[in-house]
């Protein structure tokens, strides 16, 4: 799917507005960037001057400290005001928003939603019609040993066959023990285990830690070392005992030739894509094309979007007929959320 076919013809006379929302987490959620208690987002509303009844909605979703286009609310809303004054111009020239991935994602999805009648129908697939599911992983959040153990048990009871656990937050021996507790009960053929280090491992410890994880038949590790160490990362990807997936490493790279150069030089085993962080749908399409050219598999994950953004990402992901589990199980995180047709059953995402 090329970007031109993604959006199609963009008519003149589109009007846009935005509104801010804050969602509260059901329980504080531990990440590599601290404990999250709330989620800020902005919805872009798009309509035509000739028909104001059809309104397309897109979500601009940020993670403070990680989103490259967010420093503070005032600056972000000033950027949004500039864009909604002339949405057609930015839709026709998405490269102008290459350094603002969350805004580009919101604008793209608002337009696709508007074009399809403003009903949250982004792409016509078996998934969007409720005929097929998307396999997803169950995410275990950082926290105390007891809290993480409870989450693991919950995910197993809910029928997940792929579990992703954050590592690097508590004592590594404790994290290994948690993973061992799963592996003692379930083989790698029964339960797939993924881990995400969020760059937590230092260069002098990473080899030993990767080997210990590999001994537990871990499927892959996301971002084992801190971002920006391309020489060390390349060497690590060549000698690693378990597959390495790049995530944060992709965020600060906006130019096409630099994206291509990174994948060709580092040669990771996987890449992980988040439209709100990696250039919207158009940026993800470019990353996918480059990855497939280099024989690098990928999967899609959400970036803590509300149900609005998650619905768009899930439908986009479904256009690729994914077989391996995707990271799209974040819809139940919030006390309040927008209505959705998405539901999780036995470790798979469905659309009612």
Catalytic sites, residue numbers:
166, 274
Q: At what angle do helices 256-266 and 280-293 cross, to 10 degrees?
A: 40
Backbone φ and ψ for 234, nearest 5 degrees, come out as: -60, -50
Q: With beta carbons less than 8 A apart as the criterion, state whether 151 and 333 touch.
A: no
User: What is the C-alpha separation between 109 and 166, in angstroms, rounded?
Assistant: 29
How is the chain split among helix, strand and coil, in percent rounded to 5?
35, 25, 40
User: What is the C-alpha separation between 268 and 270, in angstroms, rounded?
Assistant: 5
User: What is the C-alpha separation between 314 and 300, in angstroms, rounded?
Assistant: 9
> Which residues, including other chains, have CB under 8 Å from residue 90's CB and lie 6 or more apart?
83, 96, 97, 107
User: Residue 261 burial (CB < 10 Å; 0-12/13-18/19+)?
Assistant: middle
Sign of the alpha-carbon torsion through 123, 278, 108, 65: positive
Provide the phi-psi class of 346: left if phi over 0, else alpha when psi is between -120 and 50, else beta: left
């Amino acid at each position: 799917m090329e970007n031109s076919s993604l959006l199609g013809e963009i008519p003149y006379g589109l009007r846009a507005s935005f509104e801010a929302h804050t969602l509260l987490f059901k329980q504080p959620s531990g990440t590599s960037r601290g404990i999250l208690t709330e989620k800020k987002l902005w919805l872009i509303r798009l309509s035509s001057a000739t028909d104001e009844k059809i309104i397309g909605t897109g979500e601009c979703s940020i993670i403070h400290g990680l989103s490259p286009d967010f420093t503070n609310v005032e600056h972000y809303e000033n950027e949004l005001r500039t864009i909604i004054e002339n949405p057609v111009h930015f839709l026709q020239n998405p490269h102008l928003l290459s350094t603002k991935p969350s805004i580009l994602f919101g604008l793209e999805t608002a337009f696709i939603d508007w074009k399809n009648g403003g009903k949250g129908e982004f792409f016509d697939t078996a998934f969007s019609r409720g005929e097929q599911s998307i396999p997803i992983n169950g995410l275990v959040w950082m926290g105390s040993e007891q809290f993480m153990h409870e989450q693991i048990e919950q995910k197993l009871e809910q029928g997940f066959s792929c579990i992703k656990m954050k590592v690097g937050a508590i004592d590594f021996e404790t994290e290994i023990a948690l993973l061992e507790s799963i592996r003692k009960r379930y083989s790698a053929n029964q339960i797939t285990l993924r881990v995400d280090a969020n760059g937590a491992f230092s260069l002098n410890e990473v080899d030993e830690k990767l080997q210990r994880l590999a001994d537990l038949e871990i499927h892959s590790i996301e971002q084992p070392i801190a971002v920006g160490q391309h020489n060390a990362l390349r060497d690590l990807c060549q000698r690693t005992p378990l597959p390495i997936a790049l995530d944060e490493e992709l965020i600060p790279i906006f130019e096409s030739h630099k994206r291509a150069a990174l994948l060709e030089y580092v040669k990771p085993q996987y890449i992980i894509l988040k439209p709100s962080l990696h250039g919207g749908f158009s940026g993800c399409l470019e990353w996918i094309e480059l990855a497939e050219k280099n024989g690098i598999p990928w999967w899609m994950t959400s970036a803590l979007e509300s149900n609005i953004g998650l619905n768009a990402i899930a439908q986009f992901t479904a256009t690729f007929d994914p077989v391996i589990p995707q990271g799209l199980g974040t819809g139940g995180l919030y006390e309040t959320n927008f209505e959705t047709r998405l539901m999780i059953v036995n470790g798979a995402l469905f659309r009612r």
